[in-house]
Chains A and B, each alone.
Chain A
Amino acid sequence: MKQTRRSRMLCAAAAALVLAAGCSSRPATEEPVDAGGSGVPLFVPAGAGSDEQIDLVTWGILGGVPSVDPARSTAVSALAVIATILEPLVKVNGRGELEPSLAESYEQVDPTTIDITIRGDVTFWDGSPLTAEDAAYSIERMAGPGSVNAGLFGAFESAEVTGDRTLRITLKEPSRDFLYVLCRAVVVQKAFTEAAGEGFGSSAGGVMGTGAYRLDSYSPETGATLVRYDGYWGEAPSAETFEIKVFNDAQALRLALQTGEIDGANMPPLTIPPAEADSWAGPDVTVAFSQGTGTWYLAMDTQQPPFDDLHVRRALASIVDREGIIQVTDGEYGDPMTALTLPPLWTGFVDDPAEIDAILAGLSPLPPYDLDAAAEELAQSAYPDGFSTTVVVPHEANPNMTTVMEVISEAGREVGIDIEVKRVSLAEWSATGTPGQNPPLSLSGQSPTAATPLGSVLQLLRPSPSRWTNYNTPSIDEAIDRYQVAESNDEIIAAAEDVLNELNEQLPLIPIKVNHIGFAYRNEFVVAEDVGQWTIPGSNNWAAAIKPAAG
């Protein structure tokens, strides 16, 4: 599907300039709560912050902020600003669990009906109270055809105001992920938004929200200045002003952090190999990584030759040298994937991290990297003499994709699989995977739409105008249906295992590796809450968690 091709991996142009500078010691991450193969923790524990009030925190992000309108923004850099000033009705906490935000309570009445009661103490920055009308309008707007996020809300039918503080959401079909998707529907004021019209979310039009910080000024190219909102319903943040500065070059971002021109930065693991993370750390700077959910995988159109042949797909899976790929792209901060799911997607359903590891270890194994096995599979296929194919990569936007494909291509040549790695522009790459142009083989990356075991998978299997894998079997459809309506965690886990096992056996998608999430900050500050995939800087109300270090 093209939507997965244009992944978060492309949130910014790649930086190829490296100047060895600063300390090269291992980043001073806290002790891991749980360690995967790389030692990257599932969560980084909250730092000890003080209650001291400070004037200013300056935070750097890589890539511009095209708009602060949530309905027209998909860039990670834009979401970092939006998540600081606008709030959803429900949010995901650090452990991947749902909890109320602007909602006082929510109840899944039946598989397609959700009742929500909003808080009574929330006001917009102009002092007017939050109403159910504003909440319903924000959801409808986010799910409407004019929204770039509409595709995420495929299960959404309507949001109906049922009282001053209550609304009812109706779904077209049961969806386990919908409440998580609802976390994206941050609330804006209806009257302000309608009055701003097309200019809503632009530097001139601005936005009107309820967050702990209000938008004071904003420019797509330079960033945003946020000022503490004194009427905020929750805990007031430490800094009076929070400035988010846009950088276009990762090395400039790193140097600004090390010289103290900025206080912290979201690491750009998607454009800089995490292997270079050590150069970000230093005596004044802490670098921390937690396990991420950004997945890299090969996708095949299982209706197109030669990938309609399971032996070909198995041969291809056997030439993927995950360890080799991670070595050149992620260094010590990478982990191979064993299925299209990851531990952070299970934490809301399974308490014990060891149990999560056991579930993932119990799934049907992927074919290991084995060139002899690849040759044997190919010999059994309809293409015993090998085959040729082409994979396009947006090299300039993400050179890491080229690196990954080159490693796979090199191994393929050993067994007769000739993969041409064609470098194209971002625009040309975006054009592939559209209806009628489904590429037979492609390298992709994406983040999950929900903190659920199949949060990374369902969007790849859901019918759409540009469905990549064209993989559709009665057994997987049955397992997905079961998963969507399951009521207990055991049923959810069992259904998810069935889906993942079939994917690992039939291989329409070949998981490769996971992108972990990094951030860096000067030691005068801490992130005063657990930091994991769901609460990294850039997620809901993250700026309020940046506090002066205690002592």
Chain B
Amino acid sequence: MKIAVWLGRRLIAIVLQLLIISFLTFSLLFLMPGSPEQILIGPNPATAEQLESIRERYGLNEPFLAQYADWLGAAVHLDFGTSIANGEEVSSLLIERSGVTVSLAIYAIVLLLLLAVPLGLVAGARAGGTADRVISAVTTMLVSAPAFATGLLLLYVFGVVLRWFPIFGFGSGFTDVVWHLTLPAATLAIAVIALIVRQTRAVAATIVRSDYVLFGRARGVAPWTIWTRYLLRGSSMPLVTSMGLVLGFFLTGTVVVERLFSIPGLGSLLINAVSTKDLPVVQGATILVSFFVLLANLLADASHLAVDPRVRKAVLA
């Protein structure tokens, strides 16, 4: 029952946060100089009738609050309208693009965990040793490089020189998508690898010096068990919390990677929509991305509750 109350509160908070975000986004876009019809007409000569016709079609002559109320009224029914730039249903655009971005983010998380956790455990277990210093130096160097530079390097080495992976697009079918997303996902993972490595290392270094590990070793517990049951499980707690933030970063921070690898995801959709002041698309994409981030944080917190009885007791008390 208590868990249901906690969950209910969190969901209500998410709804309120989305409401605030939608209003702020709408306001900022409304205040932004320029208008969609001007951008739509592009380089062509414009007539007053033409401008008026386009404004009328998209309800742009309505007062600010009326426009927002119209949008909100439709949005609660999951109708996000149509794109001013191309007439596409915003809902369809969001479904199509979010599939791409979520796939990329999940793949990047998998790569990150496969790379960062073992490296962090090794560095923590060998704290102060050569392995620790090498791992720390390399990961710090990687995280210092901007994503576009890392991506371009990966693209050139593995796409152009070695030709192991395609250098653009999303692909079709599971295997093809994995093949296409490997370089972009690696680019994303590299951007935060140092964070996870250092976090895992810090926890692992503490655990490896703890009495219960020492006692376990003295009892003759197998090294594999020490690594997996003691170090890995002990390190998982902060990792779970971090993963919520990292997933949020991956969902919102894919713009550069999407552009570089010509991947049609939410990031590129949002950037294009902002530059053309395509209000329905910006609103829809912002709400969806915000929802993903808030949901990722909720899942991280819920996971924390599930795996740590101390936290569960404190939160649900």
Contacts and interface: CB of A to CB of B under 8 A. Distances in A.
A364 interface: no
Contacts of B38: 2, 6, 430-431, 434
Contacts of A205: 87
Contact of B269 (A67, A221, A428): A221
Interface residues of B, number: 58
Interface string A458-477: 01001011100000000000
B234 to A, nearest CB: 42
Interface string B24-66: 0000000011110011111111111111111001000000000
A66 B166 CA distance: 25
A74 interface: yes
Contacts of A147: 50
Given A255-B167, A259-B167, A446-B43, A221 B260 contact: no
A508 interface: no
B87 A247 contact: no
B82 A6 contact: no
A358 interface: no
A69 B48 CA distance: 22
Given A67-B87, A255-B155, A447-B43, A261 B54 contact: no
B168 A261 contact: yes
Interface of A is mostly: loop
A220 B54 CA distance: 21
On chain A, which size bracket covers the interface? 35 or more
A431 B34 contact: yes
Contacts of B48: 465
A145 B49 contact: yes
Interface stretch (A34-42, A195-203, A519-527): A195-203
Contacts of B160: 21, 255, 258-259
Interface string B1-44: 00000000000000000000000000000001111001111111
B316 to A, nearest CB: 44
Given A67-B85, A255-B159, A256-B167, A431 B43 contact: no
B42 A249 contact: no
B41 A6 contact: yes
A479 interface: no
A105 interface: no
Interface in A89-142: none
A222 B33 CA distance: 29
A459 B163 contact: no
Nearest to B34: A427
A426 interface: yes
A252 B262 contact: yes
A145 B52 CA distance: 8
B275 A150 contact: no
23 contacts: A19-B152, A67-B87, A74-B43, A145-B53, A146-B54, A148-B54, A150-B50, A151-B41, A152-B45, A204-B89, A220-B86, A222-B262, A245-B168, A245-B262, A246-B264, A255-B156, A259-B167, A261-B167, A426-B34, A427-B32, A427-B275, A430-B33, A430-B39
